Amino acid sequence: MRTSDVDILIVPGWSDSGADHWQTRWERTLKTARRVEQDNWLAPDAEAWVGRIIESAVQSSRPVVVVAHSLGVAAVAHLAKRIPKGFLSGAFLVAPADIDHASEWPETKGLTFDAVTSGFAPLPRDPLPFPSVLVASSTDPYCRMDRATALAGDWGATLVDAGDAGHINSASGFGPWPDGVLRFGAFLRTLEA
């Protein structure tokens, strides 16, 4: 598949993806991409976030591929329990947020994240019912590499080690992220039409 063959749903994480974030850039440059908007980016609710992804996917006219970052990855893991096989064509998952260790996360915009109250914990570990790639960093403050490796194994995702890349966001120098575009294109070519 190519980007023109699919509807690309951009699923940002906690606090959304800012103007310089690679997700926002992809949304602007990939013609079939659109952001899944959430009602509250700073006080997320797992049920609401998953529902919004489902609504966006149902409105699609082509096969759906999700591009999720951080807490968006956790939302996709929760989504997987509620959809039939074939509902999504694939998922490109970047810098997963390790919900089960959210107490170790740094503050975001002066806030801490309550994984239990938000409904995101525990993080589902069942195999995903769609092809997936998990891109993880060895220096991500939201998820250790050993944990990302275990998640990829449990989910049946192909793990890509991005090396020393922080949280793979604009704060860690990933605005345009050309390597990510290449990896995403390679992932799309593995998907069946």
Sign of CA dihedral 38, 107, 46, 188: positive
Q: Cis peptide leading into 12, omega within 30 of 0?
A: no
Residue range of the domain that includes 163: 3-190
**pTM of the predicted structure, to 2 decimals:** 0.96
Per-residue pLDDT of the chain (193 residues; tens, 9 = 90+): 999 999 999 999 999 999 999 999 999 999 999 999 999 998 999 999 999 999 999 999 999 999 999 999 999 999 999 999 999 999 999 999 999 999 888 877 777 788 888 999 999 999 999 999 999 999 999 999 999 999 999 999 999 999 999 999 999 998 889 999 999 999 999 998 6
In 3D, which of 7, 3, 13 has the Cα closest to residue 93? 13
Number of domains, the chain: 1
Q: Which residue has the tokens 């939201």?
A: 142
Q: What is the pLDDT of residue 193?
A: 64
CATH label of the domain that carries residue 43: 3.40.50.1820
Per-residue model confidence (pLDDT) at position 107: 76
